[in-house]
Amino acid sequence: MLRNTLHFALPLALVWSAPALAAAQKPVPVSQLVKQISIPFQQFTLKNGLRVIVHTDRKAPIVAVSVWYDVGSKHEPKGKTGFAHLFEHLMFGGSENVAEFDSTVIAMGGANNNGSTWFDRTNYFETVPASGLERMLFVESDRMGHLLGAVSQEKLDAQRGVVQNEKRQGDNQPYGLTEYAQTAALFSPDHPYGHTTIGSMADLDAASLDDVRGWFRQHYGPNNAVLVLAGDVDAKTARVMVEKYFGDIPAGPKQGPIAVPIPTLPANKYEVMKDRVATTRIYRDWVVPGEDDPDYAPLSVGLAVLGGLSSSRMDNAMVRGDKTAVAVTAGTQGYAQLGIAELTVDVTPGVDPAVAGKRLDALVAELLDKGPSADEVSRVVTRELSSRIGGLEQVGGFGGKAVTLAEGALYAGDPANYRKQLAALTKVTPATAKAALRKWLMRPVYQLMVEPGERTPYDNAAFVKKPPVPAAPIQMVKRPPMPEVGGSPALDFPAIERAKLSNGIEVFFARRAAVPKVNVSISFDAGYAADPHDALGTQSFMLSVMDEGTTTRSSIQIAEEEERLGAGIGSGASLDRTNFNLSALSANLAPSLDLLTDIIRNPAFAPAEVDRVRKQQLARISSELTQPAALASRIMPARLYGPNHPYGIPASGTGDPAAVKALTPDQLRAFHRRWLRPDNARIFVVGDTTLAALKPLLEKSFGTWPTDRMARPVKDFSSPIPVPQPKIYLIDRPNSPQSVIAAAEVLDGSGRDDLVALRASNEILGGGFLSRLNADLREEKGWAYGVRSGIVENENRIAFSFRAPVQADRTGDSIRVFRQHLTDYFGAKGVTPEELTRTVNSNVREMPGEFETSGDVLGGVMAIVNLGRPDTWYDTLAEKYSALTAPAIDATGRAKIDPAKLIYVVVGDAKVVRPQLDGIGLPVEELPAPVADKDAAQEEGE
């Protein structure tokens, strides 16, 4: 469960005629977009100070419940860093009248059940069936007003271990230590933002039970909180429930505002850090004002022009232009009282970082001197407003309407503060953006360069339990029983309408009019499994080049047009499918489809663009070789399916660096012609339009696409899957504070099968937060931040997989625990009645909220069609879950999964891990860690 998140050349000859942008239709103006962003609400305040905000949205029988507390890491005194985040974890451990928070919420069909901590706040949120709202309010009120009696030393020690492993997991990633350096350089140690939210190992070790109690009493009173309810509820009904469950909680101490100065460095500061990274990265950082400062909107727009747009100046000059970088970013991270402006450049291998740094500084100087253009400002604002409109479709989760209202109330005292922010955004001009950029970016800058090398060792020692200090007993208050969850309405999945274009392409449409946007997916029966085995990475390479220029548009023209339309166009692939996706404003659907069509039908594959994207793909492969989880994903498939099977390839699809280095424009063009063709395509659309209005647009865009006379391509799955050779493959990654354990086996089955019982079996074992594996390795032992197992539902042949990042000194023990759970679960200790009830109830009760957004519906329609399921599949899924029995789940799991056939890959520090693997009962083979082809990278960078 995530507990810590961050917020804010000449064209080639035409292959087919390219549809032109409809000249008569201009993008919808910004003023019209702003009018479409509205979140009506009512609010009231209880006598104890709890602020309550209610937004009614009847599109689905669900309610988002979100509680935001005005406490974050900026409130932590010296010696108690990481306390806010640690306490966030403790709040999930049960309260005086709710034994287990997560199990209670999940069993009632709660989705998006999570929490997060950041500098300014701690929040807890879940989306529940409307029939479960009263129970959910009981649960949230119990941990607000009746928590401490359930917080024991054992729970504190367990969650301390979880948090420390969360810290290790983040630290273990490439560039994972940069935040510590940036924070130390930009702020003094006593500044409220002068330490990271995750805290220090020493401070976490020192947290006592009395410390925890004091922290709760100081910060978690109702008068320091905001409760937001968004969804199928009205203010009158909500007020009665909220008064009933929260009204008797006494107010806590008043919390005054915190003074937060915006520091300025006395002079430019430059540092170099070594890390296990594939690419040198350059950072430029400044502390700037927070989100509600008048300078924030123009500053954020100006930085987006510099490096936040697809057509940004940094992209055009450094990535597309002189090719000194393979990736760039620029933007602001806004907090309540200040923000960070940051630029990053991933230097092209073989390029002198000093050269890239000078190029970056020249671009900054040019923007500060001349400012952005009106068109650049307009594109940034249009893109942002389109994104905000899309976000309005979701009531809860990490985004959505509840978050928008809560942030406004907590940070600015006004739930409608988003209106002021949007107004500020639409008022940005080239002049105001230039002024803000000059005011804040002409100050001294912190410059950090992270270059490949070995890290300096740092303290990540495991927590050593100390004798607990006795704490005074807590007087607990017995409350009436939790209210029951009412009946769950049946899911009514939208009707799927069908049509066929004149060239035979099938169209599948479902109408959703909650927001004025349309989602489109053009799906091809290809995927990474279609890659030639002697040229792995072809498809990924092809997809990356396709939006970098067509026979009528340059890459810059494509990016700019997409931004003016407020559209989002992207491509991607799974093992089985290749998809091109469009998110468009309804008013801009026709020109957005024209742009998508040109990208799909008429890619130029210009040699200069191919060579540039080649550098980027080689850099991505090199980056994968530095990431522990990605390393395991590159190693495992060939050992599962065999090196000649279409699925026996690196899971990312980026392929083999030698093959990528050798691919030519003609090879990419040939792959495109072979696999991306109308007789291999389906079109899926969900959103605010009608099939009658949609079909002429699709006929114009894709119906004129000539069908190839060649036979339709077919993927060859005839290569036999090898007999499993269970063993542990150990990949040495020196000085890793964590090890990544991966295990997998191929199963007898297809993604087209009815996998309901198998999914349920996996959910109980390791697929959910309450699963046996996660409950033991994370919640009980504290050796991991989170572990998961899953059913990999490939269309041809499915697999079972397990992954766990665990602290290095517990690698062997964790494998033993995993193997014991498998033995128990698929042996004498099968599904319990409690596990069955929880699994059935949670899945049935979640169904009405499963398809809240158009994107959710689009995914459902695609699954129904591509997997050959009836249109009523989701409407009848609740019946399938309700019919499950423990014997049926046990029988399915035991028939499909054989623990003796599992293959393991462990990525970790071999000198620490290898001795732990003795006695497990499996042979161990040490593999050298794959390394990037430095000669190839150097050549590509020249």
Q: Which among 659, 614, 652, 618 has a CA at the least distance from the CA of 635?
A: 652
User: Residue 147 pLDDT more than 90?
Assistant: yes
Q: Read off the pLDDT band of 346 (50, 70, 90).
A: very high
The DSSP code sequence of 870-900 is -TTTTTTHHHHHHT--HHHHHHHHHHH--GG
* Two structure tokens written together for 722: 């090898």
Q: Read off the pLDDT band of 933 (50, 70, 90).
A: low
Q: Read off the pLDDT band of 460 (50, 70, 90).
A: low
The mean pLDDT value for 45-70 works out to: 96
Strands 225-231 and 446-452: unpaired
Answer whether 139's CB lies under 8 Å from 124's CB: no
Q: Which residues contact 88 (CB under 8 A, 6 or more apart)?
A: 3, 115, 116, 117, 122, 124
Q: Read off the pLDDT band of 2 (50, 70, 90).
A: very low
User: Residue 18 pLDDT more than 50?
Assistant: no
φ and ψ of 698, to 5 deg = -70, -35
The mean pLDDT value for 927-940 works out to: 59
Q: Which amino acid is at 760?
A: A
Answer whether 701's CB lies under 8 Å from 19's CB: yes
Report how far Cα 334 is from the mean position of its chain's Cα atoms: 19
Residue with the bigger pLDDT between 459 and 92: it is 92
3-class secondary-structure state, position 630: helix
As a whole number of angstroms, the distance between CA 74 and CA 127 comes to 28
User: Which pLDDT score is estimated for 25?
Assistant: 60
As a whole number of angstroms, the distance between CA 900 and CA 846 comes to 34
3-class secondary-structure state, position 79: coil
The mean pLDDT value for 204-229 works out to: 94
φ and ψ of 570, to 5 deg = -150, 160
User: Which pLDDT score is estimated for 12?
Assistant: 26
Per-residue pLDDT tens over the stretch 401-422: 999 999 999 999 999 999 999 9
Residue with the bigger pLDDT between 729 and 933: it is 729
In sign, the C-alpha dihedral spanning 930, 931, 933, 935 is: negative
User: Residue 938 pLDDT more than 70?
Assistant: no
CB neighbours (10 Å) of residue 359? 19
User: Which pLDDT score is estimated for 295?
Assistant: 97
Q: Read off the pLDDT band of 110 (50, 70, 90).
A: confident
Strands 506-511 and 681-687: parallel
* Two structure tokens written together for 4: 């810590």
User: Residue 941 pLDDT more than 50?
Assistant: no
Answer whether 811's CB lies under 8 Å from 916's CB: yes
Q: Read off the pLDDT band of 854 (50, 70, 90).
A: very high
The DSSP code sequence of 809-875 is GGHHHHHHHHHHHHHHHTTTS---HHHHHHHHHHHHHHGGGTT-SHHHHHHHHHHHHHTT--TTTTT
Report how far Cα 223 is from the mean position of its chain's Cα atoms: 32
Q: Which among 14, 11, 25 has a CA at the least distance from the CA of 593?
A: 25
* Two structure tokens written together for 244: 């009933």
Q: Which among 356, 291, 285 has a CA at the least distance from the CA of 326?
A: 356
Q: Read off the pLDDT band of 471 (50, 70, 90).
A: confident
Q: Read off the pLDDT band of 6 (50, 70, 90).
A: very low
Helices 209-219, 83-90: crossing angle, 10 deg rounding: 90
User: Which pLDDT score is estimated for 456?
Assistant: 80
User: Which pLDDT score is estimated for 468?
Assistant: 73
Q: Read off the pLDDT band of 932 (50, 70, 90).
A: low
User: Which pLDDT score is estimated for 458?
Assistant: 67
Q: Which amino acid is at 707?
A: T
User: Residue 492 pLDDT more than 90?
Assistant: no
* Two structure tokens written together for 578: 């290749």
3-class secondary-structure state, position 924: strand
As a whole number of angstroms, the distance between CA 37 and CA 33 comes to 7
Per-residue pLDDT tens over the stretch 590-643: 999 999 999 999 999 999 999 999 999 999 999 999 999 999 999 999 999 999
Residue with tokens 């070789």: 625
Per-residue pLDDT tens over the stretch 910-919: 999 999 999 9
Q: Would you say the pTM of this structure is higher than 0.85?
A: yes
Q: Read off the pLDDT band of 848 (50, 70, 90).
A: confident
The DSSP code sequence of 515-580 is SSEEEEEEEES-SGGGS-TTSTTHHHHHHHHHTSBBSS-BHHHHHHHHHHHT-EEEEEE-SS-EEE
User: Which pLDDT score is estimated for 708?
Assistant: 77
User: Residue 469 pLDDT more than 80?
Assistant: no
User: Residue 10 pLDDT more than 60?
Assistant: no
User: Which pLDDT score is estimated for 459?
Assistant: 64
User: Residue 23 pLDDT more than 70?
Assistant: no
Helix (H) or strand (E) holding 672, with range, is: helix 665-675
Q: Which amino acid is at 849?
A: G
User: Which pLDDT score is estimated for 16?
Assistant: 29
The mean pLDDT value for 827-838 works out to: 96
452, burial (CB in 10 Å: exposed 0-12, middle 13-18, buried 19+):
middle
Helices 353-370, 430-441: crossing angle, 10 deg rounding: 130
Q: Which among 778, 833, 801, 584 has a CA at the least distance from the CA of 687?
A: 584
From residue 698, alpha-carbon distances to 79, 683, 827 in Å are 62, 9, 54
Per-residue pLDDT tens over the stretch 643-667: 999 999 999 999 999 999 999 999 9
Residues of the chain by 3-state class (helix, strand, coil), percent to 5 = 45, 15, 40
As a whole number of angstroms, the distance between CA 449 and CA 283 comes to 6
Q: Which among 225, 205, 198, 176 has a CA at the least distance from the CA of 76?
A: 198
Phi/psi region, residue 313 (left: phi>0; alpha: psi -120 to 50; beta: rest), is alpha
